[in-house]
Structure 1
Amino acid sequence: MIKLIIFDLGKVILDFSHRDIARGLAVFSTLAKYQDPAKIMDHMFNNGSKIINLYEEGRITTDDFFIYIKESFGLNISFPRFKKIWNEIFKENDGIDMLIERFKKDFMLFLLSNTNELHFEYVKEEYPVINKFDRWVLSYEAGIRKPEPEIFQIALNKAGVKPNETIFIDDIRENVEGAESIGINSVEFKSVNQITTYLEEKTYESRPG
């Protein structure tokens, strides 16, 4: 019987584009190389950037992250302007709020995300859907990122449920496999309609009445 449904944040609840960050920062670079947004994308996001991982694991502070990015790309930029560029990249997926409301009636709903302090503080204020979840499991608070099995175990422990009583939804196959490795029913997100159908079928026998 399913008791808990865990949702990823990025691309599942909120769509986003890292390219918007790269374009925004390139304008403030004093280094010719990094006036090209593609170079910022490669350095920051496309090559498994260690600094992003450290920030998402809560191993460096927001201030230290900002200083590193500012110095790395030669940015002549204030922190408030950086924060605006860094954060204003999200858009709620159509239909996701209705899906959350529908399944919240009968199941515990958790949010489990590889995210950082700046992004999460922003989205929980700007997008009411974030506050409809029963609990959040965030990489920067947990000190570990998906697809490591330990972060999924944290969610199970918080909910007091077993892996086979849980569904996990994520857009990244590697993360889905991480959850599956400890026995969680998992599905790769493609669209809200696809997930709605999947949840209807998977939770049919778990619904009251």
Structure 2
Amino acid sequence: MAMKNHAYQSVIFDLGAVLVDWNPRYLYHKIFATPEETEYFLENICTSDWNEAQDAGRSLQDGTEWLVTQHPQYEAQIRAFYGRWREMLAGPIPGTVQILRQLKDSGQFKLYALTNWSNETFPIALMEYEFLQWFDGIVVSGKEKIRKPQPDFYQLLLDRYSVNKSSTIFIDDNLRNVQAAEAFGIESILFESPAQLSTELSQRGILN
């Protein structure tokens, strides 16, 4: 049975692939001749784990130089990851931004963002996307030097903004992060599309 909306006080959003259309494939499809080469590179060279080390506070320079020493034959392509990072941004995801706007306009909820993002590149997003100013608070992993799915990262947001996790909903596109939030005691939605998110929030009485 869906809870009535008065039970929810806070909504926590992930940013990348939920509100911001970020994908390294937008860049590497320009660099490599085939999709297969792009996938090989992202699965074996500039991997998610490598990128998340920068999200957790390692400097872009240190991360890049270390990876170049591991794969010198890919030096130019590795340096492009942060050298041409803006080309991985395709803009906001309009449907989700509209949902965020509705929640903001309702005045019923505190809105937060909890993001795995390098502290060196996040200021670019802050300048690019006005909707990031709509949040009551944003916690960035690169600044805090801790990231999802570590429980302490979720706890950091709760403590900083005095958020009650029992009256909070968390939205993320990464199943690992959603499962971690659920295990931590925060009700969560695995984001698949703006339409799916709208349906799930409506079912909980959060969206009208």
The TM-score range, normalised by the shorter chain, is 0.7 to 0.9
In 2, Cα distance between equivalents of 1:83 and 1:89: 9
Letter paired with 1:167: I
Q: Runs of 5+ in structure 1 lacking a partner?
A: 28-35
Letter paired with 1:179: A
Cross-structure match for 1:180: 182
- Classify 1:96/1:20 alpha carbon distance in 2 versus 1 (closer, same or farther; 3 Å): same
Length-normalised TM-score, structure 2: 0.80
Cross-structure match for 1:194: 196
Matched, 1:89 2:88: yes
How many pairs align? 193
Letter paired with 1:18: P
Equivalent residue in structure 2 for 1:124, among 105, 123, 126: 126
Cross-structure match for 1:32: none
Q: Shift of the alpha carbon at 1:178?
A: 0.5
Q: Shift of the alpha carbon at 1:21?
A: 3.4
Whether contact under 8 Å (1:109, 1:134) holds in the other structure is yes
Equivalent residue in structure 1 for 2:22, among 16, 25, 36: 16
Cross-structure match for 1:159: 161
Q: Name the SS for the 2:171 alignment partner.
A: strand
In 2, Cα distance between equivalents of 1:25 and 1:166: 42
What RMSD over aligned residues (CA atoms) do the two structures have, in Å? 2.7
Cross-structure match for 1:64: 62
Cross-structure match for 2:41: 40
Q: Shift of the alpha carbon at 1:129?
A: 1.4
In 1, Cα distance between equivalents of 2:67 and 2:86: 15
Whether contact under 8 Å (2:119, 2:140) holds in the other structure is no
Cross-structure match for 1:52: 51
Whether contact under 8 Å (1:169, 1:187) holds in the other structure is yes
Q: Deviations over 1:118-137 (max 9, x none)?
A: 43121111111122111111
Q: Shift of the alpha carbon at 1:43?
A: 2.7
Length-normalised TM-score, structure 1: 0.79
